[in-house]
Amino acid sequence: MIQSMTGYGKVTAEFEGKKIHVEIKSLNSKALDLSTRIAPLYREKEMEIRNLIAGRLERGKVDFNLWVEKDVVDSATPINMAVLESYYKQIHSIAETTGIPLPDDWFATLLRLPDVMTKVEVQELSEEEWAVVSQAIHEAIDHLVAFRIQEGAALERKFTEKLDNITALLASIEVYETERVNRIRERIVEALEKTLSVDYDKNRLEQELIYYIEKLDINEEKQRLANHLRYFRQTMAEGHGQGKKLGFIAQEMGREINTTGSKSNHAEMQNIVVKMKDELEQIKEQVLNVM
């Protein structure tokens, strides 16, 4: 089954009061276009994360986001009590020595002084925490792949519908082919007899008509288009990773349909060709999303 390049996965894990969020999403792209936003603590693992994503997702414009939501109590900036007490004693001593009045609002004064408010950050990533984060990353990728498979199934149904429509339209051309040949013959004979009013060699005319009609024959185009339709179905059945090949097949289908239209020389056949082009255009638009 084919896979879409569109996908989304998100997982939240917990470790020692922290909520670790992993989010990954992808859209279509000719190759793997990976951008990452990783919390500082985990940046040492960026290459490992990139290699993991590249190995699993292969293609697509991928956005990966890893961030931490800490508990409110843990995230509050702590007050350095030792420094605060030292400032308090120093201010008292200065006031007694110089006669300068003590501050009315002790907290407002003390909390503005350097190093009273300190931010303690964990600088090292433990193996236990990385194991939790790594598991969350794998699960997020699993969710994205499942999303891609689901979208791929929808694309396959859409492609099958369009291929069936083109196949039916191709078969409907046959009705007009004999009529088209007779009309061409009648127009040429009428032009010779009535419009130009000239004598002509009927045997020679027949030979020229056969040559002319052979130039307008579309049997080869019909056969090649039927082969391309069948090959497109077979390629879809081969599984994911066939997006580029399906795009090439769709291009070949377009060439045969265009040649059929240029050779048709018949209003109804040209209408059918326009309908086939419309169905094919919808395939081309969606095949860009296929892995």
Q: What is the pLDDT of residue 74?
A: 54
Does residue 193 share a domain with residue 98? Answer: no
Q: Is residue 217 part of a domain?
A: yes
Structure tokens belonging to residue 71: 């508990």
Residue 126: φ, ψ to 5°: -80, 160
Of residues 84 and 150, which shows the higher confidence score? Answer: 150
Q: Is residue 122 part of a domain?
A: no
pLDDT band with cut points at 50, 70 and 90 for residue 218 = confident
The 3-state DSSP class for residue 64 equals strand
With beta carbons less than 8 A apart as the criterion, state whether 106 and 88 touch: yes
Q: How far apart are CA 142 and CA 22, in angstroms?
A: 12
pLDDT band with cut points at 50, 70 and 90 for residue 98 = confident
Does residue 35 share a domain with residue 136? Answer: yes
Does residue 262 share a domain with residue 206? Answer: yes
Q: How far apart are CA 84 and CA 271, in angstroms?
A: 87
CATH number of the domain within which 42 lies: 3.30.230
With beta carbons less than 8 A apart as the criterion, state whether 3 and 290 touch: yes
Does residue 132 share a domain with residue 191? Answer: no
Query: How distant, in Å, are the alpha carbons of 54, 158, 171, 259, 283 from that of 287?
Result: 21, 10, 24, 22, 6
Does residue 282 share a domain with residue 167? Answer: yes
Q: Is residue 221 part of a domain?
A: yes
Q: What is the pLDDT of residue 87?
A: 84
Chain centre to alpha carbon of residue 73: 41
Closest residue by Cα to residue 180 from 251, 259, 247, 270:
270
Q: Is residue 65 part of a domain?
A: yes
Does residue 225 share a domain with residue 193? Answer: yes
pLDDT tens profile 32-78: 999 999 998 999 999 999 999 999 998 999 999 999 987 644 556 77
* Angle between helix 46-57 and helix 127-190 axes, rounded to 10 deg: 30
Render the burial of 240-271: b for 16+ CB within 10 Å, e for the rest: bebbebbeebbeebbebbebbbebbebeebee
Does residue 92 share a domain with residue 28? Answer: no
Strands annotated E in the chain: 7-15, 18-27, 32-38, 60-70
Does residue 98 share a domain with residue 46? Answer: no
Does residue 141 share a domain with residue 28? Answer: yes
Q: Is residue 159 part of a domain?
A: yes
pLDDT tens profile 3-36: 999 999 999 999 988 899 999 999 999 899 999 9
Does residue 66 share a domain with residue 18? Answer: yes
Q: How far apart are CA 251 and CA 5, in angstroms?
A: 20
Does residue 31 share a domain with residue 100? Answer: no
Name the residue range of residue 267's domain: 153-287
pTM, full prediction? 0.72
Does residue 179 share a domain with residue 140? Answer: no
Name, of 44-58, 72-86, 175-189, the range with top average pLDDT.
44-58
Number of domains into which the chain is organized:
3
